[in-house]
Chain A
């Protein structure tokens, strides 16, 4: 396994890229349209639009800052054009400086400074074009799997997720970590009931304590949110689709979900936007929302995300491949233009090791440039920055 390679783009600092794009990132939602128009005019760019960046304070603003900086320094982006408005709470200058610190070329366009939309789009378009031309000098090289950080996610879960898709992904996670790579799992809202199992897998007592703390904090948030007498019709912790698919409780979902994290020891707990510190398996502190979680995985540096689904979901992330796999053969047949891999054959009798090995091949091909279904279809709806006014970090 350790002699396996993928073809990636080495970067000046940190992990290599699995794509070689130029990102156009607004520091505030007011700059979204300018950012989108720049990206529409320059091939090889991708816009990362979002609804935040102003009228925020404290931990909520800090989460936005960490997420945007994390996504901006992602290895799949050769360089970044930051687009600011000029008066926003989260400064474009702060974002650009953090990205430059990661060793990336970065340009900045401020709408109020340029004059108006047209002038900002024109300048941004020229700058983005120049970065794309520079990026073209990079080429893919053979790199060991130890240079890969895999994001683990599930969404639209049904009973097959715990039977087939998550076990197959867990097999791949174990092989990647044996090869010296890294993997990150999250969705803490859906880990209730799995804390003992996960804490037993911690590399030391501090990590075990941190795992229990993030899960217990999240359960506290959920308790507060489900305690409103008049909102009992909004208190379900799993979705109607999960229930239709045979998942009855949040604990059942958790126990099926953690299979995707394989069996390796858990090396640490990461805060939202914290860069993955090295090889091994990590738990990211984030809710289960598909977009917020994948955004967190990307902000921590995952160059490929593998996303298991039972009911089927079409979503993707701008600039980072999200491999969709299912344990439900009927879903795979139905959603042919959305799902990349079928692990449903495990339920029909195929061996986990065989299906896992095929999935690993798929991950290596995608890391080496093969587009995912979501990339082919321009799906980019998973860029969603998490928000939280209540919590803080106490473990890092």
Chain B
């Protein structure tokens, strides 16, 4: 089964440790009770949502906010540029 690593207990995303296919079950290491199915293909090293993430809610990795959700994100979704934004270092236009 595909595996993912949650780096900090506070995190709401985990990193997949292989290329994951949509529909595949994903085991989150150390969280055996969590049932997670990939909603779509997720490349090695990319992030999978562990729970429902509200639009404009914080994306937490390494225990810290790395950005915010652009749109509501369902558990098992690929979390990347298409559904995350970050305002640090950017002029707000």
Q: Tell me if chain B binds chain A.
A: yes
A246 to B15, Cβ gap below 8 A? yes
B84 to A255, Cβ gap below 8 A? no
Residues of B near A194 (CB, < 8 A) are 64
Residues of A near B90 (CB, < 8 A) are 222-223, 226, 235, 237
A249 to B15, Cβ gap below 8 A? no
Can you list 25 pairs linking A and B with CB atoms under 8 Å apart?
A159-B15, A159-B45, A160-B45, A162-B7, A162-B62, A163-B5, A163-B15, A192-B88, A193-B65, A226-B89, A243-B80, A243-B81, A246-B43, A246-B45, A246-B80, A248-B47, A248-B66, A248-B86, A250-B88, A251-B64, A255-B61, A255-B62, A255-B64, A255-B66, A347-B17
Interface of B is mostly: loop
Q: What's the Cα separation between A245 and B16 when bound, in Å? A: 12
Is B91 part of the contact surface with A, judged by Cβ < 8 Å?
A: yes
A251 to B88, Cβ gap below 8 A? yes
Is B93 part of the contact surface with A, judged by Cβ < 8 Å?
A: yes
Which range holds the interface residue count of chain A? 20 to 34
Is B46 part of the contact surface with A, judged by Cβ < 8 Å?
A: yes
Partner of B62 from A229, A246, A256 at Cβ < 8 Å: A256
- Nearest to A218 among chain B residues (CB) is B89
B67 to A251, Cβ gap below 8 A? yes
Rounded to whole Å, the gap between the CB of B78 and the closest CB of chain A is 10
Partner of A192 from B17, B46, B79, B89 at Cβ < 8 Å: B89
Q: What's the Cα separation between A255 and B7 when bound, in Å? A: 11
B46 to A250, Cβ gap below 8 A? no
Q: How many residues of B contact A (CB 8 A)?
A: 26
Residues of B near A162 (CB, < 8 A) are 7, 62
A197 to B64, Cβ gap below 8 A? yes
Q: What's the Cα separation between A226 and B93 when bound, in Å? A: 10
Rounded to whole Å, the gap between the CB of B93 and the closest CB of chain A is 7
Q: What's the Cα separation between A219 and B86 when bound, in Å? A: 13
- Nearest to B18 among chain A residues (CB) is A347
B86 to A246, Cβ gap below 8 A? no
Q: What's the Cα separation between A222 and B86 when bound, in Å? A: 14
A residues 148-186 touching B (CB-CB < 8 Å): 158-160, 162-163
Known: A243-B80, A252-B61. 8 other contacts (CB 8 A): A189-B89, A193-B65, A223-B89, A229-B93, A243-B81, A248-B80, A248-B86, A255-B64
- Interface of A with B (CB < 8 Å)? 158-160, 162-163, 189, 192-194, 197, 219, 222-224, 226-227, 229, 235, 237, 243, 245-246, 248-252, 255-256, 310, 328, 347
B62 to A237, Cβ gap below 8 A? no
B89 to A237, Cβ gap below 8 A? yes
Residues of A near B67 (CB, < 8 A) are 248-249, 251-252
- Nearest to A160 among chain B residues (CB) is B45
Best-surrounded residue of B5, B15, B80, B88 (most CB of chain A within 10 A): B88
Instruction: Provide the B49-93 mask, 1 if CB < 8 A to any CB of A, else 0.
Output: 000000000010110111100000000000111001010111101
A248 to B84, Cβ gap below 8 A? yes
Residues of A near B45 (CB, < 8 A) are 158-160, 163, 245-246, 310, 328
A249 to B86, Cβ gap below 8 A? yes
B89 to A219, Cβ gap below 8 A? yes
Residues of B near A251 (CB, < 8 A) are 64-67, 86, 88
Known: A162-B62, A227-B91, A235-B90. A248 touches B79 (CB 8 A): yes
Q: What's the Cα separation between A160 and B84 when bound, in Å? A: 20
A193 to B64, Cβ gap below 8 A? yes
Known: A159-B45, A160-B45, A243-B81. A249 touches B93 (CB 8 A): no
Best-surrounded residue of B45, B46, B47, B65 (most CB of chain A within 10 A): B45
